[in-house]
Amino acid sequence: MMKTRLLGLLAVSALAFPTLLPANAADGDYQDNATSLPDKQYVVRVGVGGLMKSKYPGSGDYLLSPSPIFDVQRLYLPGLGQVVDGSVKTRGIDIYPSFSFNGVREASDSVDLTGTKTIDWAAELGLGIGYRHDWLRGFAEVRQGFGGHDGQVATLGLDLISQPTERLELVWGPRVDWGSDAYMDTYFGVTAAEAAASGGRLTAYDPSSGVTSLGVEVKANYAYTEKSTLHLRAGWDRFVGDAADSPIVTSGSENQFSVGAGVSYRFDFNLF
């Protein structure tokens, strides 16, 4: 029943707002008119929202949780100059910080995790590079995990960008996610000890690095005022390869959905 309601909400959101904004800078979003940013060294968008997503990778249950919004649109580094420049984004290359966050996973989260060890929260920090030509943009991101996992992850994406009104921006496109051996072992692997402790629910499994999922993300950003923006997002990912074959996923769900909304405020200033 929960999955049916979530699918309905996702469909309504996608029809009403064909594109949506993520709660981090991982996709190098374009929530402002590219030519409207102030000529400042630093332009940062900060906000908060709510995100409904799976409780953990592979879960068939969903959880609503707070989700921060943080997007660096212009960034100046002494000696290097304007390394991120959101005012020149209709065409050309951009480099930007990429980050993500994974919450704690505990055996008590689901009977499907019986016998598994606790995975602490993990921060993922890295860089992204994108190339935009008018309404089309491709990007690639690589992040290093800290905390709950010490592996590497990567995302490839393609965005179609449109601005039907002066205030509304729409972005949507496909995504491909990849994980290293260490990342795969942490979230999709099952040790012999965990399999024994599960009472037969899980079997030992040792996944390899590779593509973890294929999906699509849609985002909508509405400039409510000059500095405040309303955001909506929705996404779908399907696990593939070794991730899809994991007992964690086969006992949960291959399909992962997310729906979120939030509001942010833009800060712009000079330091040097």
* pLDDT for 140: 98
DSSP code for 119: B
Angle formed at CA 148 by CA 143 and CA 150, multiple of 5 degrees: 45
Local structure of residue 148 (DSSP, 8 states): S
Q: What is the pLDDT of residue 37?
A: 78
**pLDDT score, position 247:** 98
The tens digit of pLDDT for each residue in 222-258 reads 999 999 999 999 999 999 999 999 999 999 999 999 9
Question: Which option is the CATH number for 2-269: 3.30.70, 1.10.287, 3.40.50, 2.40.230?
Answer: 2.40.230
Assess contact for 102 and 177: CB atoms under 8 A: no
Q: Could you tell me if 2 and 252 are in contact, meaning their C-beta atoms sit under 8 angstroms apart? A: no
pLDDT at 32 over 50: no
pLDDT of residue 195: 97
- In this predicted structure, what is the pLDDT of residue 24? 39
Least confident window among 7-21, 60-74, 196-210, 257-271: 7-21
Tell me: pLDDT of 10 over 70: no
Give the model's pLDDT for residue 251.
Answer: 95
**Is there a contact between 231 and 69 (Cβ–Cβ < 8 Å)?**
yes
pTM beyond 0.95, yes or no: no
| Residue 108 CA, distance from chain mean position | 25
Euclidean distance between CA atoms 27 and 37, whole angstroms: 18
pLDDT tens digits for 125-182?
Answer: 999 999 999 999 999 999 999 999 999 999 999 999 999 999 999 999 999 999 999 9
Cα 91 from chain centroid (whole Å):
24
What is the domain partition of the chain in residue ranges?
2-269
Q: Are 188 and 205 in contact (CB under 8 A)?
A: yes
- Nearest alpha carbon to residue 55 among 100, 112, 127: 112
CA-based R_g, the chain, Å: 19
Provide, for the chain, the percentages of residues in helix, strand and coil under a 3-state DSSP scheme, each rounded to the nearest 5: 15, 50, 35
Q: What are phi and psi of 116, to 5 degrees?
A: -85, 155
b/e map of 22-38 (b: 16 or more CB within 10 Å)?
bbbbbbbbbbbebeebe
pLDDT digits (tens, 9 = 90+) for 67-117: 889 888 888 989 888 887 776 557 888 888 899 989 999 999 999 999 999
Which tokens go with 227?
Answer: 């500095």
255-269 and 42-54 strand pairing: antiparallel
Residue 56 has pLDDT above 50, yes or no: yes
Decide: 216 and 234 in contact? Cβ < 8 Å.
Answer: no
CB crowding 225-264: b at 16 or more within 10 Å, else e = eeeebbbbbbbbbebbbbbbebbbbbbbbbbbbbbbbbeb
Is pLDDT above 60 for 64? yes
**173, amino acid identity:** G
